[in-house]
Structure 1
Amino acid sequence: MIKNILVTLSQQAAQHPEQVAFDYLGRTNTYSELEKRSNSVANYLKTCHLTPKTPVMVYGGQTFDMLVAFIGCAKAGHAYIPVDTNSSTDRLTSIMHTAEPELVIAVEPLPIKVVVPVTSLADLTNIYQTLPTVFDEKTAIDDTFYIIFTSGTTGNPKGVQITQRNLLSFVNWMSTAFNFEKRNVLLQPPFSFDLSVMALYPTLMNGGTLRVLPQTVTANFSKMFTTLASLPLQIWVSTPSLVDICLLDPYFDDKHYPDLATFLFCGEELTHQTASKLNERFPQAHIINTYGPTEATVAMTSVEITPEMLRTYDRLPIGYVKPGTQVTIDSSGVDEPGEIIIAGYNVSKGYLNNPAKTKNAFFETNGLQAYCTGDLGYFDHDLLFYKGRVDFQIKLNGYRIELEEVNHFLSEVTLIKQGVAVPKYDRNHKVSQLLAVVVPKSPHEPSQMALRQELNGKLMPYMVPQRFIFRETLPHNVNGKVDIKALISEVNTHA
């Protein structure tokens, strides 16, 4: 059993110093390099005289220097906040305001001005070369290890605090349940998406190699197919949406990927259609469906989707609850769907600097931290099934989006009088599009492009509605509020 993330990582470096830890399109870095450089970063942070345990924002893409910064921060006792280069300036400003970091490590140039010191990539390179490569301090198990910001309801993202104890609960389960020992593992999600943690730490704790598929590659399908075929993958970690795209490639099968033995899915619902196609292409592979909110450390259920399971269920289960975690269903009756409540050592301590939101979502039960997910589900014996959202939070392409956050920025668009975001579902109950029903200020409808351009600087790209539907008025319910449920029903009415 792994008892300390950083100690185990150091042990891997000592035992296998030349083992490749990180492969970015052929540019490789070893465990020894990760250990020494992260130690130098930790020593540097000690010279910065930061307030103990204050977080450090780390800005950039899916590069080795980002990983070095993460580990260096953790070693020095500072939680890292991964922020992706695709983040809007509004999001960056909001995270800075909420997190109040005293330092930013900008592996890529920071697009906003900040009042705190900024450590650049050039600074990091100098730190690697000049500061000691040994660091002996240990991070406490209940210290916050990382903070990932999710979507917020009023334009303010929430920072989910994950402690080393939370992370150990997840990593030990993954290491036991699935064979990560010295495996080649796909690293595709951006670091600001907690699905990346499913690849990162189980791989590094078990001496494996992270094979990076950066966003610059996934943006071009042809380039992505070619790149993937060159990677010696054994474990695949992604959202189901990515594999849907890969299945468009006729060469995505077990003949062309002979070592690919395990698919691990999380972040959104795995549909029957996707799992069936994948099973046809990779009949010997293990197709694993997992589930869990960021607040419960990536995932806490899993189940292998077998041919028999595909024959049994139209809507696939999300899994069996991992050992050491408790799940209850808050429903009005026996066998009725209700809200999924999670309790265990994997549950976050709460949202950073947001006691009101923390109080609303977290509580303690039988000495364990618990979280109200807002997800609807039910048990069939001990197998958990997902039935949708209690509120209006959705998953699109693996990203969690709160509709109210999109609505907040729609209200700021100069061309719109009123607008609401609504999800459009496909026949597999999966969100296929994010739409916006809007009332324009002018009798002349603005162009779709003009509306998108105004939102592009305010929202993450995946949060910008793909299509705008124009109305003279929006429906209201008996309380005088916009009837979002009616609009969702309207856009999902199939002829």
Structure 2
Amino acid sequence: MTPLGLHEWFARSAREHPGRPALKVGAETFTYRELDALAGTLAAGILALHGGTAPARVGLTTTPQPLTYAGYLAALRLGAAVVPLNSAFPPARSAAIAHAAALDLTLSDDLLTRLRTAPPPHDAPPPAPVTPEDTAYLLFTSGSTGVPKGVPVTHRSIDAFLRYVIERYELGPGCRMAQNIGLAFDPSVFELFAAWGSGATLVVPPRQELAKPARFVSREGITHWFSVPSVITMAHLTGGLAPGSMPTLRWSLFGGEQLTTQQARAWRAAAPQSVLENLYGPTEVTIVCTQYRLPEHIADWPVTANGTLPIGPVYPHLDCLVLDEAGNPAETGELCVRGVQRFNGYLDPADNNGRFLTPTGHPTDPSGHHIPGDKDWYRTGDLVQTLDGGTLVHLGRIDQQVKIMGQRVEIGETEAVLRDQEGIEQAAVVALHGPDGQTRLEAAYTGTPVPPAQLRQALSTRLPRYMVPHRFTHRTTLPLNINGKLDRRALTTELTTELTTGLTTEPTAGLTAEPADR
């Protein structure tokens, strides 16, 4: 079966269900015919703006408004790769991403408005042909070297994913998918094109309702939900998950963070008719690559050593290995994945080094910029335990990567920016769990004391909010292990003790219930 281009998934629904609702944002609703026409108008304007030739890579604002979604489709219609630019990111970070991506054009809010209001000089162009190996979208993740890493995803990879999930989650006309994840993060592609690829309706929740999802779900008749588990915690704490408050939900999917039994119990009580699944997947393996469906009866839910629910086996069309530190197959170790959903390597080939294994499970040559072959394994960096039947339990990371509100954070990137500040010598960042169950970054540094507000402001010009530490603690030295290296475990214990005993008085910045850039 020939893979479909990402735009063709939408175009097919537009042909088959032109009068059905495709998108609802606030009070505005667009049918498939209307959304297709708007995307065509924008595509014609982009061509005129670009001298009559289609751009290869198009940056896209991520403001959750109708024109943004139409702009996404317009870029795909022209055969361009979409590069979402998080509207909440500091300008310097967005500029660095735009430069690394070598954008031909950026669709800002102002430009999209002009393209919509100015009559295009030509009719809407027909959809441009694409090959399965062409890039559909390009996302940037946090990088351990201090520079975001570009992850190109091909039409072949996203096609395989959509074919699987649309059938598994029984999506089709009449279904209503919530659009919870910001467009700069890959789960949003799941929401957009699992809905549009099946003739369902994509419904965008108002930002202020994200902390109380039951109200939005009930009012809009949402049938399919996908979010980070943190949303459950926040909604439960604010009284937004009353038992039976989401009767329309048929499918509830969670990913991006470990899902605890307590979180799942709270959601099940609020949506008793919903099938509940725990999902896992790095951006490099196209959104999601494992699944675990919770049994209908809570008494049958598994009990794991760390209190989290399994992430399940890998998708049937993918392969996985679990390897110990020596590179041998093991029950507990690093998860490695390969198959049609695995990406073909980072935008900068230097970032591939150390991230792949050969078909036999051995490390690739670290001396050069490795170009992965079809049978190479991607090293996820995630530590898992294998249960009966290939079911996996996520135990954490083997490196310094953490998740903040479901967003991937390489601690090394935050540390690199902190070390760049004048007067700072050593810097270390750790992740701690706050009293509300949320994960927050805490920083310790040596050198000249700097007012915390000054450090926070300086880092905010280069890093998104969720990557900026909530506290900055000055120290004369940082704890070292017997090898003279930073002892992160000791530092984590010290900072946790200071927080719980009230020894640290520097005020924290609030973390709001804000999935991604929304």
- 2:428 is the counterpart of 1:453: no
- 2:28 is the counterpart of 1:27: yes
Match of 2:311 in 1: 318
Q: Distance in 2 between matches of 1:23 and 1:165?
A: 28
When normalised by structure 1's length, the TM-score is 0.88
Q: Which segment is superposed worse, 230-239 or 144-153?
A: 230-239
Match of 2:505 in 1: none
**Aligned match for 1:181, one of 169, 172, 180:** 172
Match of 1:237 in 2: 226
SS at match of 2:64: coil
**Aligned match for 1:340, one of 335, 347, 356:** 335
Q: Which runs of 5+ in 2 are unaligned?
A: 360-372, 502-518
- 2:249 is the counterpart of 1:248: no
Q: Distance in 2 between matches of 1:128 and 1:202?
A: 32
When normalised by structure 2's length, the TM-score is 0.84
Match of 2:37 in 1: 36
1:186 Cα offset (Å): 0.8
**Aligned match for 2:355, one of 335, 357, 361:** 361
Structure 2 counterparts to residues 117-136 of structure 1, below 5 A = 120-126=111-117, 130-136=121-127
Preserved CA contact (<8 Å) 1:190 1:215: no
Match of 1:422 in 2: 430
Q: Which runs of 5+ in 1 are unaligned?
A: 109-119
1:425 Cα offset (Å): 3.8
SS at match of 1:65: helix
1:57 Cα offset (Å): 1.1
Amino acid at match of 2:345: G
1:489 Cα offset (Å): 4.4
Q: Which segment is superposed worse, 16-25 or 393-402?
A: 16-25
- 2:68 is the counterpart of 1:66: yes
**Aligned match for 1:374, one of 375, 378, 381:** 381
Q: Distance in 2 between matches of 1:102 and 1:488?
A: 44
**Aligned match for 2:398, one of 373, 385, 390:** 390
Amino acid at match of 1:103: L
**Aligned match for 2:104, one of 102, 105, 115:** 102
1:83 Cα offset (Å): 1.1
Q: 1:57 to 1:16 in 2, by over 3 A?
A: same
Q: Which segment is superposed worse, 155-164 or 126-135?
A: 126-135
Match of 1:10 in 2: 11
Q: Distance in 2 between matches of 1:470 and 1:281?
A: 45
1:107 Cα offset (Å): 2.0
Amino acid at match of 1:470: H
The C-alpha deviation readout for 1:154-212, integer Å capped at 9, x for no partner, is: 32101110001110111111112112112111101110011212211111111111111
SS at match of 2:94: helix
Preserved CA contact (<8 Å) 2:322 2:330: no
Match of 2:90 in 1: 88
Match of 2:139 in 1: 148
1:53 Cα offset (Å): 7.0
Match of 2:80 in 1: 78
Q: 1:76 to 1:321 in 2, by over 3 A?
A: same
Q: 1:293 to 1:50 in 2, by over 3 A?
A: farther
Q: Which segment is superposed worse, 354-363 or 297-306?
A: 354-363
SS at match of 1:155: coil
1:369 Cα offset (Å): 5.0
Q: Distance in 2 between matches of 1:256 and 1:2?
A: 43
Give the % identical residues.
Answer: 28
Q: Distance in 1 between matches of 2:300 and 2:454?
A: 47
Q: 1:269 to 1:427 in 2, by over 3 A?
A: farther
Amino acid at match of 2:26: L
Q: 1:58 to 1:50 in 2, by over 3 A?
A: farther
1:439 Cα offset (Å): 2.6
Preserved CA contact (<8 Å) 1:55 1:101: yes
**Aligned match for 2:289, one of 296, 300, 315:** 300
Match of 1:116 in 2: none
- 2:424 is the counterpart of 1:412: no
SS at match of 1:368: coil
Preserved CA contact (<8 Å) 2:3 2:155: no
Match of 1:161 in 2: 152
Preserved CA contact (<8 Å) 2:22 2:200: yes
Preserved CA contact (<8 Å) 2:285 2:343: yes
1:34 Cα offset (Å): 2.3
Q: 1:431 to 1:327 in 2, by over 3 A?
A: farther
1:399 Cα offset (Å): 0.6
1:230 Cα offset (Å): 2.4
The C-alpha deviation readout for 1:330-362, integer Å capped at 9, x for no partner, is: 22466442111110100111211x111124324
Q: Distance in 2 between matches of 1:391 and 1:50?
A: 47
Preserved CA contact (<8 Å) 1:36 1:134: no
**Aligned match for 2:448, one of 438, 441, 450:** 441
Match of 1:117 in 2: none
Q: Distance in 1 between matches of 2:114 and 2:207?
A: 25
| CA RMSD, 1 decimal | 2.7
Count of residue correspondences: 476
Amino acid at match of 1:252: L
Q: Distance in 1 between matches of 2:253 and 2:430?
A: 29
Amino acid at match of 2:193: Y
Amino acid at match of 2:223: Q
